[in-house]
Chain A
Amino acid sequence: MSDKDIGTMGIIEMRGVDKWYGQFHVLKNINLDVKSKEKIVICGPSGSGKSTLIRCINRLEEHQKGQIVVDGVELTNDLKHIEQIRREVGMVFQHFNLFPHMTVLENLSLAPIWVRKMPKAEAEERAMQMLNRVQIAEQAKKYPGQLSGGQQQRVAIARSLCMNPKIMLFDEPTSALDPEMIKEVLDVMIELAREGMTMLCVTHEMGFAKMVADRVIFMDKGEIIEQNDPHNFFDNPQSDRTKLFLSQILGH
């Protein structure tokens, strides 16, 4: 991706965001600006706060200090704001979190029908389009438990896309998958990136980062240690912690 694809408009702004779990300081003074259509990969050792960071963006976690503005709406305790932001922000989870008591089609059309108040027929048509996009349309009538992990994750991506989000958050989308299924999910994500979606991905797939990311962010102990374009990030890391981390995950 080249820089000219990225919009100039900021879509997410985080200013001095702090969060604690009890006494544990998970996020320390996070400042992050994401531009529209920007693709960001966030990596770092486990427990570094990277998942918490993106989960603050759609208020699955509450930040305790600082300011988060998403698409012009500030995240506060106001439920209206939270729901407004959640409608525009899709999220894909490590463990898919599909609804097991519903068919794939029902999983996809649920939110458009109930949140966007879309007529059922239209929602199902859209759902089928999205299933086609992630190349899994033939599974529409099945239940999530009948699909492989890779298929489930693609359904989860399609489910988010049905809401026509402006931003997609990926929380370690390939970590729970068997190795042979990782590629099918990454292919869908790469395709999505090409189409100009604003994406924040927490992942350890460095190949994906090199190929897709506009910016790679390295976090450790709740802080953003380093951020750079992928070329400079991988070839010329600045901090010692980044070097250590990269040597650990790329070392073998």
Chain B
Amino acid sequence: MAVPGSASEVMVGPPASQVGFLGWMRRNLFSNIWNTLLTVACLYLLVMLVPPAFDWLILKAVWSEAPPETCRAAEGACWAFIREKHRVILFGRYPFDEHWRPLLGICILLTMVMVSCFRRFWRPWIALIWVGGLFGFFALMWGGDIAVNYRTVAVLAGIAVLGVSFSRRAIASNLRSLFLGIAALLLILGIGGGSVLRGLDSLLGFVGAGPIFAGLDGVLFSIPLGLSYVPTSLWGGLPLTLLLSIVGIVVAFPVAILLALGRRSNMPLIRTVCIAYIELIRGVPLISLLFVASFLLPLFLPRGVEINDLARAQVAIILFSAAYLAEVIRGGLQAIPRGQFEAADALGLGYWQKMGKIVLPQAITIVIPPIVNTFIGLFKDTSLVSIVSLTDLLLATKDIAIADVNWRSFYAEGYIFVALIYFVFCFFMSKYSQYLETQFETGRRRRR
């Protein structure tokens, strides 16, 4: 019984040892003997490492523009090296006077990505931003004249038909597959163009088809851009790394969804093909895929067919990541209770409606962390394209910046600089994944 004035009526707070900074330390750092030992050991390491690192990185470092000799005399890091070489690290072998073009290219790519990060922009029209952005990027990087031929027209028409076929009410659903077929045909003709058909011609030897299709490559008219032409072999540095990883992510994701659905399909043929693909690709390292794409594939292609180096590396990255991503997404699919499928079935939803509206939105939400994990891996794996002589960020640092005889001893600074660039992008992805989780978590927390 609480008697007025007795102790039980007075508000009793927790003891001082449990609250405030001291309480926090006691609970988290010194809760038992092992914890205390660990805390002391960590403190010792920090004291040993941090001050010298701070000295080298900042206090004793050469920050101003300076010749290599000054750096050698100094005890700290040589940031003068980065000042001198940052442009070749960032842009590789791209012509020095034209560096504004890849810089603008990076801005275009990053703007596209930033816009796509906001959930409220997840509307069909965002595809237009991507098509336009990538077109702008390539126009800038390549320069020269934009030659408009039948292939370009076919690609544009293909994209347009694709867009129409996905608009909900524009067409009845049984027409959709027809539209999709037309779009696919246009895109294959446009992208593969004369070379694919000429290749077929030289393989199969039905004479006469070649010249007809070669007409596809005929230039209708060209738009001069007023920029000098820069072939992809000179592209390099950050724009290359960003292009490979962004296009890699954007294309690999839908491919992975299809693979994951295919692996769970009831149709034995589709299931077998998907399983075979996933297991085969996962069974080999990315390096070997890049190698095959760059050096072996040309040997097997028929005469007259050439595929750009960059495109080959890009395709290898997409095929590789899609296989890993497919397994991640399959994990999410398996976490969806059977009742969800049954409810969708019972309402009469078709397969794609059931997957697109009910199953995938839930499945992908569950596996956001491992998906982003795969994306981060893909981003860093793009550095492997250096073995097929594409000058990505890392190779530009190693082979152009550090290869300079005068600055050779400052490789550590060079690698720290690229590491920082990689870190910024990976950290952004990691943070964005947390943002997405909280975005979708709201729905889930309500579920209890």
* Chain A residues at the B interface, C-beta cutoff of 8 Å: 58-60, 83, 86-87, 89-91, 93, 95, 97-101, 110-111, 114-115, 142-146, 159-160, 163
Contacts and interface: CB of A to CB of B under 8 A. Distances in A.
Closest 5 CB pairs of A and B: A145-B447, A97-B343, A97-B339, A86-B348, A111-B347
Nearest to A55: B342
Interface stretch (B238-246, B327-335, B353-361): B353-361
A67 B395 CA distance: 69
Interface string B118-131: 00000000000000
B349 A99 contact: no
Contacts of A163: 347-348
A142 B446 CA distance: 9
Contacts of B222: none
A50 B62 CA distance: 82
26 contacts: A58-B345, A86-B347, A90-B346, A91-B343, A93-B346, A97-B343, A100-B443, A100-B447, A101-B365, A101-B443, A110-B347, A110-B357, A111-B347, A111-B349, A114-B353, A114-B357, A115-B348, A115-B349, A143-B446, A144-B447, A145-B444, A145-B445, A145-B446, A145-B447, A159-B347, A163-B347
Contact of B340 (A86, A97, A142, A160): A97
Contact of B345 (A86, A90, A95, A145): A86
A111 B348 contact: yes
A78 B448 CA distance: 40
Contacts of B440: 101
Contacts of A89: 346
Most chain B CB inside 10 Å of its own CB: which residue of A86, A99, A146:
A99
A142 to B, nearest CB: 8
Interface of B: 337, 339-340, 342-343, 345-350, 353, 357-358, 361-362, 365, 440, 443-448
A159 B361 CA distance: 20
A99 B343 contact: yes
B346 A83 contact: no
Given A114-B357, A143-B447, A98 B343 contact: yes
Contacts of B445: 145
B358 to A, nearest CB: 6
Contacts of B365: 101
Contacts of B347: 86, 110-111, 115, 159-160, 163
Contacts of A60: 342, 345-346
Contacts of B358: 99
Most chain B CB inside 10 Å of its own CB: which residue of A111, A114, A142:
A114
The binding surface of chain B is classed by DSSP as: helix
Contact of A143 (B346, B357, B361, B443): B443
B170 to A, nearest CB: 13
A146 B346 contact: no
Given A60-B345, A163-B348, 6 more contacts: A87-B348, A89-B346, A93-B343, A99-B340, A111-B348, A160-B347
Nearest to B445: A145
Contact of A93 (B342, B357, B361, B447): B342
A95 B339 contact: yes
Given A101-B361, A101-B365, A58 B447 contact: no
A225 B345 CA distance: 30
Contacts of A86: 345-348
A100 B339 contact: no
A89 B342 CA distance: 13
Contacts of A159: 347
Nearest to B339: A97
Most chain B CB inside 10 Å of its own CB: which residue of A89, A100, A144:
A100
Contacts of B339: 93, 95, 97
A107 to B, nearest CB: 9
A42 to B, nearest CB: 17
B173 to A, nearest CB: 9
A160 B343 CA distance: 10
Contacts of A143: 443, 446-447
Contacts of A90: 346
A80 to B, nearest CB: 11
Given A83-B350, A163-B348, A97 B342 contact: yes
A102 to B, nearest CB: 8
A143 B348 CA distance: 22
Nearest to A110: B357
A115 B343 contact: no
A146 B348 CA distance: 26
Nearest to A156: B343
Contacts of B337: 97
B345 to A, nearest CB: 6
Given A95-B339, A99-B340, A101-B365, A145 B448 contact: yes
A212 to B, nearest CB: 22
Nearest to B365: A101
B252 to A, nearest CB: 24
A58 B349 contact: no
A101 B362 contact: yes
Contacts of B350: 83, 115
A99 B353 CA distance: 13
Nearest to B443: A101
A89 B361 CA distance: 26
A99 to B, nearest CB: 6
B259 to A, nearest CB: 23
A49 to B, nearest CB: 17
